[in-house]
Structure 1
Amino acid sequence: MKSTGIVRKVDELGRIVIPIELRRTLDIGIKDSLEIYVEDDQIILKKYMPACSFCNNASDIQQFKGKNICSECLAELIKDFAE
């Protein structure tokens, strides 16, 4: 992990502002979701990527009845129901 040299203060509501340059670099847009991780004494923010409800794969995700499913699991389900 490399330091950006950017320091921000926490406001009275517990918020911090992520600088626009950093948001542009990391492709974080308005209303994007961020996951919050804690590792030892560090807080880690990561852009949220929805994952498959069955295998936790984060690529080629679709939604079906409010659940995330990847194309591989979808193909497997279709195959199982066809039998």
Structure 2
Amino acid sequence: MSKFIKEGGVVLKSTGLVRKVDELGRVVIPIELRRNLGIEEKDALEIYVNGEQIILQKYEPACIFCGNADSVTNYKNKIVCKECIDNLNSAS
């Protein structure tokens, strides 16, 4: 039976998996979860804190101007979306 908890209007589903923190502070994310969530070796994860909760989310770079994560490109070591690039080009 799945366990659900409600946190700030969001329903979280328990995986039933428990892992211990090792002496270096590491936690292994089980392969089943990594496969289901599309997390590959060397992928970056963002770490959020909500009260006493730690939330891991697959990192997706977003535009430094608008926060959009679609159609982004690296311009002079900054992530910028196509729409903002078009806006910058039309402003000059």
Range into which the TM-score falls when normalised by the shorter chain: over 0.9
Q: 1:74 is matched with which residue? A: 85
1:64 maps to 75
Q: Cα RMSD between the aligned structures?
A: 0.5
What residue is the counterpart of 2:15 in the other structure? 4
The residue aligned with 1:45 is: 56
User: Separation in 2 of the partners of 1:51 and 1:3?
Assistant: 29
Extract structure 1 runs of 4+ deviating beyond 2 A: none
Equivalent position SS for 1:23? helix
> Percentage identity across aligned positions?
60
One-letter identity of the residue aligned with 1:61: V
**Which residue of 2 is the match for residue 24 of structure 1?**
35
Helix, strand or coil for the counterpart of 1:51? coil
1:42 is matched by which residue type in structure 2? Q
Partners of 2:47 and 2:78 in 1: CA distance: 21
Between the two proteins, the alignment pairs up a number of residues equal to 81
Q: Provide the TM-score with structure 1 as the length reference.
A: 0.95
Could you say what secondary structure the match of 1:43 adopts? strand
With the length of structure 2 as denominator, give the TM-score of the two structures. 0.86
Higher relative contact order (CA 8 A, sep 6+): 1
Deviation at 1:26, TM superposition (A): 0.2
Structure 1, unpaired ranges of 5+: none
Q: Distance in 2 between matches of 1:40 and 1:68?
A: 30
